[in-house]
Structure 1
């Protein structure tokens, strides 16, 4: 699921990394690429960082390692020095040529957020466009939402085979909406959608999700079948089912696995693959989290597998 995005290649040059770091990518807003990339170097090449190509885009960075006495540059000039603590969020405007001096180990998550994605979000929600984001050099934010999203996507980066596209789309859409609201003054976009999907839409959406238990379908593709925006479809689906699409799909995988475990002769690894899990380890982890017991124990107890049990 991970791949080296254009942003990942830019980060390699920017941070003088030996290889382009893997990224998780979504194109749910106007088909524009949004990406999250984890970068780490415990023995970096000393010197000032490279430059990003100037563009109307932003980088949101969640710091995972303290970086004291960081020398910050903007528009070709040294602006200040600041201590950068682990857990803080920083925003950078790529039109301003943000750079810094690399002279100690670093570890961060970087989210690439083009202006066109922000415009796509507001267009879909029928609200005014976001103006300038709060990208003040050297100013970190104590942002629990970014930390939560970052931790979830970090797991996805480390377990790419277990990460479905619906999850990436959902988390990056949530990140975009949060950044627009917290740092761009956008009013909550959830107020415009009060109702759920029509019954026939729920039925068809669930059938589409169930037909691809591996989770390769994107939110954009499913939403387009109903002529809905991704954000509208995601919120309406959650209103109708009580779960966002990626979590509904996980529950459906578990239900399918329960049914398959009633078939004699099927090993747990065969059940795992048939139910859309990446492997038996992935199956065991998800099943145990949802059901409260391991697949092996559940099977040995000889439980029934009701169609809608979760």
Structure 2
């Protein structure tokens, strides 16, 4: 997972370059193949083009809507989609935030907005996103503190959402937060219909309900986000060829990794906050020998209940998740030639270089030495 504490302290601009790993490259390549036969249009800018709003609204009316549905209701829904597609920044008090939008498959839009907003001194901003049939995802480019605001106005405890983590919420009932620190993030607006269109492509995963996430580390989304950042500098339509497969790749990734699972009988899943706390505990103690009992205690559960709940929620055991985290961190460190394999093993919580080699080989099919060699050749 990326770390940028020094940049955060000094207020430096977030880096706009990032080496995308092989898994992410493969996923985007597959997505490009999936959407190669679909026409699409993209937009990039800093605020909605009011002069073309009516034309855009007319184009956005989904053809598959029932003929019996009232026309007025259709127009209202389409206008709401247009507002969120191009006006995410306005909801965060940054009306000129740069955004990119594309229709990767059919009528549904995929949009991503770069949000940069300093915290107001003595006037912490509340953000309210309207209810609509869509998911909203934030990829944090720096650590950010904020709390949720419930429908009755009650605010939750302020939590830190770490750099390279994502927050995924269902906008069916709307969503509200209050920022307590500067915000630097990519905001993705993902209508339900987009997942349905992607799911209709041959060999693509079928659309399923997604579970909410609260600051869950996601290396693939981090890599995609870093690759998207330089595109905001282009004020033309040349980004279409890149944005279309990325939009499909994001949808496929979310469906494959964050589908809402039905809990087994007697096995309650973790809450969003328990999942966040458990994963962050493992990240913070990566170099140590982490016991399941310690993680379970952190989230207020017994060890057996925690293991069952984690598996029910995430789809793998906590031991497996920790192993994958250590391998991903090892891959990151292998890009630094100053570190020996033995030093990387210690930093990633392996007993020694031999254990790192064996686990790395088992997970990737190659050794750390070969992985490093391929990075630079």
With the shorter chain as reference, the TM-score category is: 0.5 to 0.7
Counterpart of 1:147? 222
How much does 1:132 deviate? 2.1
The yes-or-no answer on 1:170 pairing with 2:241 is no
User: Secondary structure at the residue paired with 2:216?
Assistant: coil
- 2:149 aligned to 58, 68, 73, which one? 73
The yes-or-no answer on 1:35 pairing with 2:77 is no
How much does 1:48 deviate? 4.3
In the alignment, structure 2 segments of 5+ residues that lack a partner are: 1-42, 49-82, 262-377
Query: Structure 1's 50 and 9: CA in aligned 2 closer, same or farther, altered over 3 A?
Result: farther
The yes-or-no answer on 1:183 pairing with 2:225 is no
Cα-to-partner distance string for 1:146-198 (whole Å, 9 max, x where unaligned): 01111111110123458431111111111111111111269xxxxxxxxxxxx
Cα-to-partner distance string for 1:111-153 (whole Å, 9 max, x where unaligned): 11100000111122377743321114xx222111101111111
Query: Structure 1's 170 and 44: CA in aligned 2 closer, same or farther, altered over 3 A?
Result: farther
The yes-or-no answer on 1:2 pairing with 2:44 is yes
Distance in 2 between residues matched to 1:41 and 1:48, nearest whole Å: 10
Query: Structure 1's 148 and 40: CA in aligned 2 closer, same or farther, altered over 3 A?
Result: same
The yes-or-no answer on 1:105 pairing with 2:147 is no
Query: Structure 1's 14 and 22: CA in aligned 2 closer, same or farther, altered over 3 A?
Result: same
Counterpart of 1:132? 209
Between the two proteins, the alignment pairs up a number of residues equal to 182
How much does 1:27 deviate? 0.4
Cα-to-partner distance string for 1:255-304 (whole Å, 9 max, x where unaligned): xxxxxxxxxxxxxxxxxxxxxxxxxxxxxxxxxxxxxxxxxxxxxxxxxx
Distance in 2 between residues matched to 1:127 and 1:52, nearest whole Å: 30
Provide the aligned C-alpha RMSD in A. 2.5
Cα-to-partner distance string for 1:27-70 (whole Å, 9 max, x where unaligned): 023221110110101254733423222111001110012123x2
Counterpart of 1:279? none
User: Secondary structure at the residue paired with 1:107?
Assistant: strand
Distance in 2 between residues matched to 1:160 and 1:179, nearest whole Å: 28
Contact 1:9 1:21 in 2 (8 A): no
Query: Structure 1's 127 and 8: CA in aligned 2 closer, same or farther, altered over 3 A?
Result: closer
The yes-or-no answer on 1:22 pairing with 2:98 is yes
TM-score, normalisation: structure 1: 0.53
The yes-or-no answer on 1:84 pairing with 2:126 is no
In the alignment, structure 1 segments of 5+ residues that lack a partner are: 187-310
Contact 2:112 2:187 in 1 (8 A): yes
Distance in 1 between residues matched to 2:143 and 2:84, nearest whole Å: 23
Distance in 2 between residues matched to 1:135 and 1:185, nearest whole Å: 8
TM-score, normalisation: structure 2: 0.44
User: Secondary structure at the residue paired with 2:227?
Assistant: helix
Query: Structure 1's 54 and 185: CA in aligned 2 closer, same or farther, altered over 3 A?
Result: closer
Cα-to-partner distance string for 1:204-263 (whole Å, 9 max, x where unaligned): xxxxxxxxxxxxxxxxxxxxxxxxxxxxxxxxxxxxxxxxxxxxxxxxxxxxxxxxxxxx
Counterpart of 1:49? 126
